[in-house]
Amino acid sequence: MLTLNNIKKVYDGVEILRGISLDIEDGEIVSILGPSGSGKTTLLNLILGITDPTDGQIIFDNKDITKVAMEKRGFNIVFQDYALFPNLNAYRNITYGLKNKPNISTKEEVDELIELLGLSKHLDKKIDQLSGGQKQRVALARTLVMKPKILLLDEPLSALDGVIKESIKDRIKTIAKEYNLTTIIVTHDPEEALTLSDRVLILNEGKISQYSTPDEIINDPKNNFVKDFILNQLEIKKENIFSLFGGCYV
Ligand SMILES: Nc1ncnc2c1ncn2[C@@H]1O[C@H](COP(=O)(O)OP(=O)(O)OP(=O)(O)O)[C@@H](O)[C@H]1O
CA of residue 116 to ligand 1 center, whole Å: 35
CB-based contact 29:198 (threshold 8 Å): yes
pLDDT of residue 163: 77
Which residue's CA is the nearest one to ligand 1's atom 3? 11
Angle ∠(63,25,56) on CA atoms, nearest 5? 45
Which residue's CA is the nearest one to ligand 1's atom 2? 11
At position 170, the amino acid (one-letter code) is D
Per-domain boundaries in the chain? 2-224
Give the residues surrounding ligand 1 with Cβ less than 6 Å away.
11-12, 16, 34, 36-42, 188
Tell me the fold of 2-224.
Answer: Rossmann fold (3.40.50)
Mean pLDDT of 155-164: 78
Report pTM: 0.90
pLDDT band for 167, please (50, 70, 90 cuts): confident
CB-based contact 101:145 (threshold 8 Å): no
pLDDT band for 247, please (50, 70, 90 cuts): low
